[in-house]
Structure 1
Amino acid sequence: MGRRSWNLPWPPYSPDLTSCDFFLWGYIKSIVYRTQPQNLDELQARIQDAFDNLLQEMIDRAIECYERRLQRCIDVDGRNVEQNYADEGNFLP
């Protein structure tokens, strides 16, 4: 499912709650693009290497934060949640 899916349209104002949205993609991008990859093969290798080197502690923290965000949504019956996620931004060990 994506924002432009023909099969299942993205609901208006739907939150992006996944750990990937809050942490993973930005972290991987910062590792992959420390310097500009020279070609597609190098880009793919850097992406694979970044995922291969994710520390289990980082993954565990991301999952814990994801669970807290889900619980917040449950607590407010799915209504909009304005929350400062600064306390959840540090996934690094």
Structure 2
Amino acid sequence: MFPSSSQSTSTHGEWPPNSPDLNVMDYSIWSILEAEACSKPHQSIDALKKSLMKACNKIPQEVIDGAVDDFPKRLQKCIDAGGGHVENK
């Protein structure tokens, strides 16, 4: 069905999982953006984009630094959990 050039040659374990536990945006920043930018309906995609940009600019640098600094600890927790879910604390 598919030509051999389009078939994946990777084996299980070579491709990292798409885990929100290991994505700074997912475990820290998106909730802030959602609360700020999505608190009201938008009339267009452009309006939503502008609202998200405004919300991004309001995030204090300390919040971003804290999320980035927390990453090594979250990575270790994920390793300790055997790649499973890590509670957000």
When the two structures are superposed, what TM-score results if normalisation uses the length of structure 1?
0.63
SS at match of 1:34: coil
Alignment of 1:70-85 (within 5 A): 70-74=75-79, 76=80, 79-85=82-88
Query: Over residues 72-92 of structure 1, what are the superposed CA-to-partner deviations in whole Å (9 max), with x where a residue is unaligned?
Result: 345x3x823454322xxxxxx
For residues 1-47 of structure 1, the C-alpha deviation after alignment (integer angstroms, 9 at most, x for no partner) is: xxxxx978xx6993331111112122211111111112222111101
- 2:37 equivalent to 1:32: yes
User: Higher helix share goes to which structure?
Assistant: 2
1:57 lines up with 2:71 in the alignment: no
Give the corresponding residue for 1:3.
none
Gaps of 5+ in 1: 1-5, 87-93
Percent of paired sites with the same residue: 22
* Structure number with larger C-alpha Rg: 2
- Superposition RMSD on alpha carbons, in Å? 3.1
- Structure 2 unaligned spans of 5+: 1-6
Change over 3 Å in CA distance of 1:84–1:43 after alignment to 2: closer
Aligned residues of 2:74 and 2:86 also touching (Cα < 8 A): no
Q: What CA distance in whole angstroms lies between the structure 2 residues aligned with 1:72 and 1:40? A: 37
Quote the Cα distance in structure 2 between the aligned partners of 1:42 and 1:82: 34
CA distance, structure 1, for counterparts of residue 88 and residue 50 of structure 2: 31
- 2:85 and 2:50 map into 1 onto residues whose CA distance is 38
| Matched positions, count | 78
